[in-house]
Every structure is written in C-alpha cells, then in structure tokens.
Amino acid sequence: MHIDRLERYWIIAVTAMLGVFMAALFVSVVVFRVQLPSPVGRVDPRALAETEFATPGLSDLGAGRYDMHIVAKMWNFDLGQGKGEPAEVRLPRGAQVTFFVTSEDVTHGFFIEGHDANLMLLPGQIASTTVRFNRPGTYHIICHEYCGPAHANMVAAIIVE
Ligand code: CUA
C-alpha cells in the first residue's frame, strides 16, 4: 500500500502524541495520585432519619479535630445548631473539620469562602472534604449549584473564634 511521505509523517506524529498523552495520564494517576472527586458513601435520601445524618452537626474528636455532618435541602444547610437564619456554627481557631455532606432533595453545591472546599451534593451520595480553619472570621457556606427559586438565599456561616 502506498502512503504519501507527508501522510506518513503525520501518522507518526499523531501516534507519538497519543503515546505522550497516555504516558502523562498514567504518571498523573500512578505517581501523583490524581483522582476525580468521588463520593465517600451512599445513603437513601428518603430515609436520612435512619442514617448518620439523622442528627446533623459537629462531633468533637479531640485534639482540635472535628467531624461535621450537614444536610443540604431546599433552601438551607442543616448544621444541627438550632434553627438560626442563616444557620451558623462556631469553631475554635485552628480547628480541622472533616465535612460529610449530602442532599435530601435536589443537586446542591457546597463552597466555603476563603477555603479549599468545593463539593457537588447529589441526593444519595455523601461528599466529603477536610478543611483547617486557621484565621478567625466568618466564612459563609454557599450553595453554588442552581437549585430553585430561593437558591440565592441558601447560605450558612462558620464563625472561627
Ligand atoms: Cu442549593 Cu442552590
């Protein structure tokens, strides 16, 4: 079969580039452990009362570490700390909090101002991230996935003392 010289060069160049891309993918996954965010667990959104999300809120694990369960719903975040508007939780400076968050109705977002926390909340899935709060201040938890008419009001606050 006759292949034109230029065409042959292009076939070699494209194949080599595919090889480089595959190698880059392999190195990023195996060496740098790059992973897509994935849910840490699953729950039945119609039966949250029978799960760890029955009583949302903060658990003190000692030594400045905390777990926090949060239920997102149209249109607030249930932090389990009374029913203030917006809901708020107080943390000591330096607290390291692992958040476990789920939605009981539609897709919501979870973003914490000034920190590296950005989750998508899907009913049936538990999303998780760990954040350290080093600076005193008020940091809002914001829903950044459109979830209905009162989406813009869907906010809570973390107060670091
Ligand atoms: Cu919840 Cu937007």
Per-residue pLDDT of the chain (161 residues; tens, 9 = 90+): 888 999 999 999 999 999 999 999 999 999 988 877 778 889 998 988 889 998 898 999 989 999 999 999 999 999 886 655 668 899 999 999 999 999 999 999 999 999 989 999 999 999 999 999 999 999 999 999 999 999 999 999 999 99
**Closest residue (by CA) to atom 1 of ligand 1?**
108
**Ligand 1 atom nearest 106 alpha carbon:** 1
What residues contact 84, with CB distance under 8 A and at least 6 apart?
none
The confidence score (pLDDT) of residue 108 equals 96
Q: What per-residue confidence (pLDDT) applies to 116? A: 86
Whether residues 115 and 87 share a domain: the answer is yes
Would you say how long the chain is, in residues?
Answer: 161
> CA Rg, the chain, in Å?
22
For residue 127, which of 104, 110, 147 has the smallest C-alpha distance?
A: 110
- The atom number, within ligand 1, closest to the CA of 152 reads 2
Q: Are residues 97 and 115 in the same domain?
A: yes
Domain that holds residue 24: 1-35
Task: Tell me if 151 CB under 6 Å of ligand 1.
Answer: yes
At CA 22, angle to CA 17 and CA 27, rounded to 5? 125
117 shares a domain with 61: yes
What's the pLDDT at 85? 64
Question: Do residues 142 and 128 make contact, with C-beta atoms less than 8 angstroms apart?
Answer: no
Q: How many domains does the chain have?
A: 2
pLDDT of residue 84: 55
**117 CB under 6 A from ligand 1?**
no
Q: Which CATH number characterizes residue 99's domain? A: 2.60.40.420
Maximum C-alpha span of the chain: 78
Residues 100 and 24 in one domain: no
Q: What is the pLDDT of residue 19?
A: 98
Q: Are residues 71 and 145 in the same domain?
A: yes
Short-list 114, 118, 116, CA closest to 143:
118
Q: Map tokens 């008020």 to a residue.
A: 138
Is residue 145 lining ligand 1, measured as CB closer than 6 Å?
Answer: yes
User: Using CA atoms, how far apart are residues 110 and 39, in angstroms rounded to an integer?
Assistant: 14
**First vs last C-alpha separation in the chain:** 76
Ligand 1 lined by 152 (C-beta under 6 Å): no
Tell me, in angstroms, the distance from the centre of ligand 1 to residue 74's CA.
7
54 and 25 in a single domain? The answer is no
* 147 Cα nearest atom in ligand 1: 2
84 and 123 assigned to the same domain: yes
Do 23 and 71 belong together in one domain? no
